[in-house]
A and B are shown apart, each in its own frame.
Chain A
């Protein structure tokens, strides 16, 4: 188990390093940000001064090794645009994104698993059909369309909720719902099919024959055994959630890290883009590793193979 974990961690770190290097080269290959940063009609001299200040006049290899050593020392660099430490910048905006993402993801997991379970227990019933039709619409409707439609209904027509800003809890409702719908629908579908698959197994019939009540069969034998595909499914939703947060923040003018990253890309703010992608790649890899390790705890059969 320990050997597996270490190997998996090293692989993840290598992957994060590779992505960081890729982004590093890509942003530099495609152009010089000093054209964007200075006003029109800036002299060649001014441009050179700025380039020197940003270390862009040095050879690529030196820029690369310098940035990498800085990063390993915990120094994330300074944003070209905000003239501030990039890590600080992300830390400031992280709060806004997490206020949005944590309730949205919790909502998606709880309601998704609940609806999926209900649909599986009562499968082929009216409730199953309604839930699954809702789920299909939930993951086919793009989040930006959903956001705009929600703004139209609740802000413009009913005048119940604000469409932007973030000063009260009421501001949170629409962006949170918009962000939650797609992962919720996917988790509900995943749970339903995983549970249906398990409930057809022989050990479920065995438990029923022992006289265990249907509720206990579903919870103790059904749900517990369907957890592995459900947890994998939830883990895969993290990427969707990060991508979704970027779009939702744009639609609702929510000042989180997604907005920061999009503006940084547009401004060619190299250090901010690099650090943002680094953080995303790091968290996605970390969650995937945690999921792989959690298999061992969820399923004793898998734990055996680690020994």
Chain B
């Protein structure tokens, strides 16, 4: 079989597994409609029925409140993926807008935006998350806004750097000389020409966002029970570690799978899109 764009088999494999997982988890409320808050104490910590380990009827057993672990894991993945998507969107829009302003207008705008980037990087992401999430109440919306606040700098830096590179190209000058407005130049030429490095940043940022969300939720500063996310699952599974270690290992494995897929795909895309590195 011919692989599209020469994508390495390992990345193709990771991408397929992650995509299937993401699609199934997004459909979870349709396939397995459950009430996340409902508990079933008589069936608490039931053993898994997978591989014929028992006949409990629960594929991966139940948690300390008697809830089906496999279904909760899907709901958790869904929450983390949805939060990452909206966080990425917000960070991307904010970052690209500021990066374009810094690159195109330069001068004082550039100074202010570079200063803000420096401010953001003076305090580690987890600390910003802890302070903001404890002071404001922690919810999904807070997490999305926090993600935007923390990750915008990557997009802004990349957009600015790419613009500085293409700024003096003759096609920009041509467009200006035939009377194009600045806005038109940004839309028609700048954004189109800086798109590919930004795709790479987007892919690589997914990993940071998933790690950030799960860390905050683990510290009980993110998603609040009975809602669940991958970080919440790890935190709750911690107390069941001796009897049912998979309650920590499975959510961990999903975090690692998503983060690894995103960062390896990002690395590959970067090498692929950078003509200097392309060896052929």
Contact = CB atoms under 8 A, between A and B. Distances in A.
Interface of A: 11, 14-16, 18-19, 22-23, 26-27, 30-31, 136-137, 139-145, 148-149, 151-152, 156, 239-240, 242-244, 246-247, 250, 261-262, 265-266, 268, 273, 277, 280-281, 284-285
Contact of B123 (A144, A247, A277): A277
B207 interface: yes
A275 to B, nearest CB: 13
A141 B245 CA distance: 17
Interface in B190-222: 207, 211, 214-215, 218-219
B259 interface: yes
A23 B231 CA distance: 27
Nearest to B115: A15
A145 B233 CA distance: 11
A16 B238 CA distance: 38
Interface of B is mostly: helix
Interface residues of B, number: 37
Given A144-B234, A284-B122, A246 B242 contact: no
B263 A280 contact: no
Contacts of A143: 215
B119 A265 contact: no
18 contacts: A14-B115, A18-B115, A26-B135, A137-B260, A140-B256, A140-B259, A142-B218, A143-B215, A144-B214, A144-B218, A148-B238, A149-B249, A246-B126, A246-B130, A262-B134, A273-B131, A277-B131, A284-B124
Contact of A262 (B130, B218, B238, B248): B130
B51 interface: no
A196 B233 CA distance: 40
Contacts of A273: 131
Contacts of A27: 135
Nearest to A282: B122
A79 to B, nearest CB: 16
A18 B215 contact: no
B119 A247 contact: no
A11 B238 CA distance: 44
Given A14-B115, A143-B215, A268-B135, 19 more contacts: A15-B119, A16-B122, A18-B115, A19-B123, A22-B119, A26-B131, A27-B135, A30-B135, A31-B135, A136-B264, A140-B256, A141-B252, A142-B211, A149-B252, A246-B126, A262-B130, A266-B134, A273-B131, A277-B123
A136 B136 contact: no
B181 interface: no
A217 B215 CA distance: 43
A239 B119 CA distance: 13
A242 B127 contact: yes
Nearest to B251: A145
A152 B241 contact: yes
Contacts of B187: none
